[in-house]
Structure 1
Amino acid sequence: MVRRFEPSLAAAALVMVLLAGCSPQPASPQPSRSSAAASAPATGAPAPPTPSDVPSSPPAETAPGAPAVSSAAAAWTTFTTADGSMAFDLPAGWRVKDPAGELAEGGGAFAEVRNQAGKIMATLRTNMATGSTCTERYPYEILDTVDVPALVQGGEVPQFVFESRANAPTPGLYSTPAAGYGITSGPAASGPDACPIFQFFRWPPNAAMFGASYDPNNNATPGDPSLPYLDLARKYRGTSEYSDIRKMITSLRPVQH
């Protein structure tokens, strides 16, 4: 069965193949970053940069099933992509590399977000060619979801989703069990099983992505590190780091010119 925009991290490898010549290139100067309150509305252009860093906080858990609330006292900034097309908010201590590599043919955005420790929290890419074939289905769990109305296309509102797939006894980046968070335009998983995670959303001229796979060695997760992978993913949902990632990704919006 062929499904377009069926959410999956596995197909990220396919997409990277489609984007010919996408090899890393030396870091380039960052575009301007402007101070912004976490609740500030989208703005068309960033203000002068603010060179303040916010110390990272150790992972902390909240009640199961409820994402942690990002510290209201922490400073946030607004980042605008190098191509001037998209903007999003992020903690002031986090850094963005843009471009993070060679762009797709025709340009677009390619931004990599890292926290204070230098670990990748999410990657934003636009102008992507996507496609997936659903040949296997897996047990799944939707850990968190929220609409992203600023990215509506054709009356369809994409969603930020933190989800998992389970099958194999050990985790693998593009196999199962696996978990990932990001924006998707695909239909929500339903029934007893689902296709692999494929988190891309419709955005001119083709598609875009803003998210990452969950890796307990990269994403600061409290508790016993020897716990099963999917248990760690559930615990991560209650951390302040995850709350910041969720807030950052769901703040993505087009820049108004």
Structure 2
Amino acid sequence: MARNITARNSGLLAAALLLTSISSCAAPPQEGPTSSAPEWATYTTADSSLRFEHPSGWDIRELPARANDPAGGVSLEVVDDGGRVLARLDTGIITDLSCSEPAEPASYVEYESVPMPALESKQGSDQRFVYRSLAPSGGLAAQATYAVVSGQQQSPECGLFDFFTLTESSGGRFAGEYAAGSGASQEEYFEGVSRYRETQEYRDLREMLTSLRNAD
């Protein structure tokens, strides 16, 4: 049975259409420490709406905005010193969700959740950083993301929707995906997901994402 969920002014869910197009497609992450005490820089988005901190060795690349809100938005990606995409930020995103109930439930796990009170939404939602994974039913590929989200995960059978609410009409996405080497089994993938939490790179990513806040 198909379900249709619309989230515009009262809450934001991700569209499967957008999920594919704006996911970070990073190469397999380094699982050893990248730095013990990186220097940090502050970045403010081009529309002066948001700012966040990032290790100074990571670059910010501004991209053509994917916003579908008439009010506009911005898009950018964060890359390491080797050019690997670590995370992507998009704002001005209005989304709809439509998916079908699977025959079997998906396996959803949250490894870490951090409140983000400095990121305020005009829709009144509570924002948080989350690192989580999903093992879909039906033989679909497993997925793990680190992301800024609003509220609790809903409908995990429809995938990981890494979006947060922001303005009265739209929201955004600040997220990246853990990527294992090609040919890894699902068991090996989830072992890597768990180990990644112990790396300096993950800690830096968590600090960067949780620093996202309103600039005005």
- In 2, distance between residues paired with 1:232 and 1:7? 28
Give, as a single letter, the amino acid of the residue that structure 2 aligns with 1:60.
Answer: G
Greater strand content = 2
* Segment drifting more, 176-185 vs 132-141: 132-141
Tell me which residue corresponds to 2:117. 149
Deviation at 1:116, TM superposition (A): 1.2
What pairs with 1:1-257 in structure 2 (closer than 5 Å)? 1-3=3-5, 4=7, 11=15, 13-14=17-18, 59-60=31-32, 71=36, 73-98=37-62, 100-105=63-68, 106=70, 107-135=72-100, 136=102, 137-153=105-121, 154-167=123-136, 175-188=140-153, 194-204=157-167, 205-217=169-181, 228-256=188-216
1:137-182 residue CA offsets vs partner (Å, 9 max, x unmatched): 4111111111111123344211111111114697xxxx43111111
- In 2, distance between residues paired with 1:187 and 1:133? 18
Deviation at 1:85, TM superposition (A): 1.4
How high is the TM-score relative to the length of structure 2? 0.76
Deviation at 1:194, TM superposition (A): 4.8
- In 2, distance between residues paired with 1:144 and 1:80? 26
Give the match's secondary structure for 2:191.
helix
What is the CA RMSD across the aligned residues, in angstroms? 3.1
Whichever of the two has the greater Rg, that structure is: 1
Give the match's secondary structure for 1:234.
helix
Change (3 A) 1:112 1:75: same
CA contact (8 A) 1:202 1:208 kept: yes
Deviation at 1:81, TM superposition (A): 1.1
CA contact (8 A) 2:136 2:142 kept: yes
How many residues matched? 194
How high is the TM-score relative to the length of structure 1? 0.65
1:21-49 residue CA offsets vs partner (Å, 9 max, x unmatched): xxxxxxxxxxxxxxxxxxxxxxxxxxxxx
Give, as a single letter, the amino acid of the residue that structure 1 aligns with 2:132.
Answer: E
